[in-house]
C-alpha cells in the first residue's frame, strides 16, 4: 500500500450540508503535522465520485445519507477506481446495518459526527497511515452482526488458520499495516500480504475490517 507523504494529506469532503463541510474544513486546515488540505467538496454521490477521480485525494470523509444515493454507493464506486484511497464514513447514524454496510463497502473508518476536533484529526492520521478506525460502539455492532451470522460470506472459524496466519491476523486486528506486521514478525511485506490472502480465503471475507472483527471476537492476544 502506498502511504501518503507525511508533509501533506489531501482530502475530499462529502456532505449535503455546506455548513458542515465548512466546519470540518476549518478544523482540518489548521492542522500542520501533517498539513491537511481539502482539495474538493461534494454534496451528492455523483459529484463525490467525479471529484474523487479528478483530485485523487488521500482521504475521503463521506456522509451516509446523500440526495442521490448513499455514502456506501460512493464508497464502492470510488474504491473501484482508486483502491488506495482511504475512506472514512462520518455520520450521525450509529445503526447496526449502516456500520455493517460501511465495512463491507470497504470503508476504512466509521466515525460519529459528535467526535471532537482532536479525535477527528487523529483518526484521519491513523487511517492515512494504513490503519482502520471504528467508533467504539460501531465495533461492538459489527461483532454482534458477525456473531449472529448476518452474512453468508463469513465463516468465522479461526481454528482453520495456521499459527502464522493467526499471528498475522492478530496484528491486523491491532490496526498494524502489512509493513509494520512484517517488522514485528521479521517477514517481508509481500510475505505478510500472502498470509492475508490465505486468511481471507479461509475465513471467506474480503476486507481487513471483517477479518479483524472476527479476531477481536474470538482470538487470543498475539505472542511476539
Give the tens place of pLDDT for each residue, 120-169. 999 999 898 888 787 555 555 565 555 555 444 444 678 788 888 889 98
Using the predicted structure, report yes or no on whether residue 3 has a pLDDT greater than 90: no
- Residue 123's H or E segment, with its range, is helix 117-128
* 26 and 63 both lie in a single domain: yes
pLDDT band at residue 175 using 50, 70 and 90 as cut-offs:
confident
* 24 and 120 both lie in a single domain: yes
Are the CB atoms for 168 and 195 separated by under 8 Å? yes
Q: Could you tell me which of 92, 89, 67 has the C-alpha nearest to residue 78?
A: 89
Q: What is the CATH number of the domain that holds 113?
A: 3.40.50.2300
Using the predicted structure, report yes or no on whether residue 14 has a pLDDT greater than 90: yes
Question: Which domain-ending residue is among 110, 144, 178?
Answer: 144
Q: What is the CATH number of the domain that holds 176?
A: 1.10.10.10
How many domains are there within the chain?
2
CA–CA gap between residue 47 and residue 66 (Å, rounded): 11
**What's the 3-state SS for 72-93?**
HHHHHHHHHHCCCCEEEEEECC
* 107 and 58 both lie in a single domain: yes
* 46 and 63 both lie in a single domain: yes
3-state DSSP call for residue 112? strand
Average pLDDT, integer, range 36-59: 96
- Residue 118's H or E segment, with its range, is helix 117-128
Using the predicted structure, report yes or no on whether residue 93 has a pLDDT greater than 50: yes
CA–CA gap between residue 169 and residue 150 (Å, rounded): 21
Domain that holds residue 171: 152-218
* 93 and 190 both lie in a single domain: no
* 76 and 132 both lie in a single domain: yes
Q: Is residue 103 part of a domain?
A: yes
- Residue 214's H or E segment, with its range, is helix 208-218
Using the predicted structure, report yes or no on whether residue 49 has a pLDDT greater than 60: yes
Q: Compute the CA torsion angle 197, 201, 202, 203 (nearest 10 deg).
A: 100
Q: Could you tell me which of 64, 89, 91, 211 has the C-alpha nearest to residue 146?
A: 211
* 103 and 192 both lie in a single domain: no
**pLDDT > 70: percent of the chain:** 82
Q: Quick one: pLDDT at residue 140?
A: 58
Least confident of 23-32, 98-107, 180-189: 98-107
- Residue 10's H or E segment, with its range, is strand 8-14
* 101 and 161 both lie in a single domain: no
* 66 and 84 both lie in a single domain: yes
Amino acid at each position: 500500500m502506498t502511504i501518503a507523504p507525511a508533509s501533506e494529506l489531501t482530502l475530499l469532503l462529502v456532505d449535503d450540508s455546506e455548513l458542515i463541510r465548512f466546519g470540518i474544513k476549518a478544523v482540518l486546515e489548521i492542522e500542520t503535522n501533517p498539513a491537511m488540505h481539502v482539495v474538493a467538496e461534494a454534496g451528492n454521490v455523483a459529484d463525490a465520485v467525479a471529484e474523487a477521480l479528478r483530485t485523487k485525494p488521500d482521504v475521503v470523509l463521506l456522509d451516509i445519507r446523500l440526495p442521490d444515493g448513499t455514502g456506501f454507493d460512493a464508497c464502492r464506486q470510488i474504491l473501484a477506481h482508486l483502491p488506495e484511497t482511504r475512506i472514512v464514513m462520518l455520520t450521525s447514524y450509529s445503526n447496526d446495518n449502516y456500520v455493517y454496510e460501511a465495512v463491507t463497502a470497504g470503508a476504512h473508518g466509521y466515525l460519529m459526527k459528535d467526535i471532537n476536533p482532536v479525535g477527528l484529526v487523529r483518526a484521519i492520521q491513523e487511517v492515512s497511515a494504513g490503519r482502520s478506525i471504528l467508533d467504539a460502539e460501531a465495533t461492538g455492532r459489527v461483532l454482534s452482526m458477525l456473531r449472529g451470522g448476518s452474512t453468508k460470506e463469513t465463516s468465522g472459524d479461526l481454528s482453520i488458520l495456521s499459527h502464522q496466519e493467526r499471528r498475522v491476523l492478530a496484528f491486523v486486528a491491532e490496526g498494524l499495516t502489512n509493513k509494520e506486521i512484517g517488522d514485528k514478525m521479521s517477514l517481508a511485506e509481500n510475505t505478510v500480504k500472502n498470509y492475508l490472502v490465505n486468511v481471507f480465503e479461509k475465513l471467506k471475507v474480503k476486507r481487513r475490517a471483517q477479518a479483524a472483527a472476527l479476531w477481536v471476537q474470538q482470538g487470543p492476544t498475539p505472542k511476539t
